[in-house]
Structure 1
Amino acid sequence: MWNFLTPERQNPGQPQTGHRLGLLLLGLAGLGIFLFRLGTPGLMDPDEGRYAEIAREIWVLQDWLIPHLNFLPYLEKPPLVYWLTAFSFRVWGYTEWAARLPVALSAWGGIFGAYYLGRAFWGTGPGFCGALILTTSLGYMALGRILTLDMPLAFFLNLGVGLGYLALSRERRELLPWAYLALALAVLTKGPVALVLAGLVWGGWALLARRPWLRALWHPGGLLLLVGLSLPWFVGAAWRYPDFLRFFIWEQHFGRFLTASFHHQQPFYYYVPVLFGLLLPWGWLLPWALGSRRGDAPGDRLFLWVWTGVILLFFTLSRGKLAPYILPALLPLALLLGEALHGLTERGRPYWQSRGLALSLGIWALSGWFLVGLYFWPPAFLAQPGAKLAILSPYLPLGLIILALVPTAALIWRRLAVLFLGALLLCALIPGGIEQVSKQRSPREMGLVLKSHWQPGAALIGYQLYSQGLSFYSGQVFHLLDFRTELDFGRSLDPATGLFFAGPEEMAAFADSRPLSFFFLKEKAFPRLKRLLAGNFQSLARYKDCLLVAYRGK
Structure 2
Amino acid sequence: MPRIPSRFIPLLIVLAGALFYFPFLGRVHLFDWDEINFAESAREMIVTGNYTRVQINFQPFWEKPPLFFWLQVLSMKLFGIGEFAARFPNAVVGIATLLVLYSIGKKAVDERFGLLWALAYFGSLTPHLYFKSGIIDPTFNLFIFLSVWFMARAVSAYGTSGATRQAVFSGLFVGLAVLTKGPVGGLLLGLTFLVYWGFQQFRPMLSFRNGLLFFGCALAVASVWFGLELIKNGFWFFEEFFRYQIRLFSTPDAGHQQPFYYHFVVVLLGCFPMSLLAIRGFFAGTTDNSTSNAVSFRRWMVILFWVVMILFSIVKTKIVHYSSMAWFPVSYLAATVLYSYLNGPLKWNRWLTVGIGIIGGVLGLLITALPLVGMHAAELTPYIKDPFAVANLSAPVEWQGWEWAIGTAYGLVILALLVVRKNRPVGSMVTLFLATPVLLWFVLPAIIPKIERYTQGAVIDFYEAKQGQDIYIEPIGYKSYAHLFYFRKPPPTNPNSYNEDWLINGPVDKPAFFVTRNFNLDQYRYNPNLEIIREEAGFVFLRRKPVFK
Bin of the TM-score, shorter chain as denominator length: 0.7 to 0.9
Do the aligned partners of 1:117 and 1:127 also contact (CA within 8 Å) in 2? yes
The reply on whether 1:203 has 2:223 as its aligned counterpart is no
Aligned to 1:439: 453
Mapping 1:356-505, distance limit 5 Å: 356=349, 358-365=350-357, 368-369=360-361, 393=404, 395-411=406-422, 413-431=423-441, 432-433=443-444, 434-442=448-456, 446-453=459-466, 457-476=470-489, 497-501=495-499, 503=501
Contact 1:268–1:317, Cα closer than 8 Å, also in 2: yes
Of 390-399 and 254-263, the range deviating more from structure 2: 390-399
Q: Distance in 1 between matches of 2:122 and 2:467?
A: 43
RMSD across aligned positions (CA): 3.5
Instruction: Give 2:272's aligned amino acid.
Output: L
- Which 10-residue stretch deviates more, 323-332 or 127-136? 323-332
**Is 1:45 the equivalent of 2:32?**
yes
What is the distance in 1 between the residues matched to 2:117 and 2:496? 54
Q: Which one of the candidate residues 500, 524, 527 is aligned to 1:532?
A: 527
In structure 2, the CA distance between the partners of 1:517 and 1:371, relative to structure 1 (3 Å rule), is closer
The 5 A counterparts of 1:128-527 are 128-170=115-157, 171=160, 172=162, 173-209=164-200, 212-215=204-207, 218=210, 220-238=212-230, 239-240=232-233, 242-249=235-242, 251-260=243-252, 264-293=256-285, 296=290, 298-347=295-344, 354-356=347-349, 358-365=350-357, 368-369=360-361, 393=404, 395-411=406-422, 413-431=423-441, 432-433=443-444, 434-442=448-456, 446-453=459-466, 457-476=470-489, 497-501=495-499, 503=501, 507-511=504-508, 513-514=509-510, 516-526=511-521
Instruction: Report the Cα distance in structure 1 between the residues aligned to 2:69 and 2:143, rounded to whole angstroms.
Output: 15
CA contact (8 A) 2:171 2:213 kept: no
Q: Do 2:171 and 2:214's aligned partners in 1 also have CA atoms closer than 8 Å?
A: yes
1:545 aligns with 2:538: yes
Helix, strand or coil: the match of 1:218?
helix
Deviation at 1:96, TM superposition (A): 0.8
Q: Secondary structure at the match of 1:538?
A: strand
After superposition, the Cα gap between the structure-2 partners of 1:38 and 1:177, relative to the gap in structure 1 and judged at 3 Å, is: same
1:92 counterpart = 2:105: no
Deviation at 1:408, TM superposition (A): 2.9
The one-letter code matched in structure 2 to 1:69 is I
- Counterpart Cα distance in 2 of 1:534 and 1:287: 59
Describe the superposition over 1:441-478 as per-residue Cα deviations: whole angstroms up to 9, x where unpaired.
445x6445444445654222433345312221221259
Q: Which residue of 2 aligns with 1:11?
A: none
Change (3 A) 1:329 1:451: closer
Question: 1:547 is paired with a residue of what secondary structure?
Answer: strand
User: Structure 2: 5+ residue runs without aligned partners?
Assistant: 374-379, 394-398
Aligned equivalent of 2:396: none
Residue type of the partner of 2:103? Y
Q: Larger deviation: 233-242 or 26-35?
A: 233-242
Q: 1:73 to 1:291 in 2, by over 3 A?
A: same
Please state how far the C-alpha of 1:324 moved relative to its aligned partner: 1.0
1:346–1:150 Cα change, 3 Å = same
* SS of residue matched to 2:2: helix
Cα deviation, residue 499, structure 1: 2.0
Residue 133 of structure 2: SS of its match in structure 1?
coil
Indicate the SS of the match to 2:210: coil
Residues in 2 aligned to 1:363 and 1:517: alpha-carbon distance in whole angstroms: 54
Q: Which runs of 5+ in 1 are unaligned?
A: 5-16, 480-493
- Cα shift at 1:163: 1.7
Aligned equivalents of 2:430 and 2:131: distance in 1?
Answer: 19
Letter in 2 for 1:100: R
* TM superposition score normalised by structure 1: 0.81
CA contact (8 A) 1:538 1:551 kept: no
Tell me the distance in 1 between the aligned counterparts of 2:468 and 2:265: 50
Aligned pair in 2 of structure 1 residues 217, 367: CA closer, same or farther (>3 Å)? farther
530-539 or 337-346: bigger deviation: 530-539
- CA-to-aligned-CA distance 1:380-420 (integer Å, 9 cap, x gap): 9xx969x9999984544444333333323324x33222122
CA distance in 2, matches of 1:124, 1:242: 49
TM-score, L = length of structure 2: 0.82
| 2:532/2:540 contact within 8 Å kept | no
Q: Is the CA contact 1:284–1:361 (under 8 Å) kept in the aligned structure 2?
A: no
Matches of 1:91 and 1:288, distance apart in 2? 45
Q: Deviations over 1:309-356 (max 9, x none)?
A: 222222223233222112122122212221322223335x6x7xx153
Counterpart AA for 1:53: E
> Separation in 1 of the partners of 2:47 and 2:491?
15
Contact 2:277 2:337 (C-alpha < 8 Å) held by counterparts: no
Matched residue, 1:489: none
The 3 A distance-change label for structure 1 pair 536 and 291 is: closer
| d(CA) in 1 for partners of 2:281, 2:166 | 30
Cα distance, 1:228 vs. partner?
1.8
Among all aligned residue pairs of Structure 1 and Structure 2, give the percentage whose two residues are the same amino acid. 20
| C-alpha distance in 1 between matches for 2:306 and 2:225 | 31
In the aligned structure 1, how far is the partner of 2:413 from the partner of 2:40?
Answer: 38
Question: Match of 1:459, as an amino acid?
Answer: Y
DSSP 3-state at the match of 2:421: helix
Q: Is the 8 A contact 1:26 1:111 kept in 2?
A: yes
* CA spacing shift, 1:82–1:442, aligned 2, 3 Å: farther
* Residues 522 and 299 of structure 1, relative CA distance in 2, 3 Å threshold: closer
Contact 1:49 1:470 in 2 (8 A): no
The one-letter amino acid paired with 1:473 is: Y
Q: Distance in 2 between matches of 1:220 and 1:370?
A: 51
- Does structure 1 retain, via aligned residues, the 8 Å contact 2:144–2:174? yes
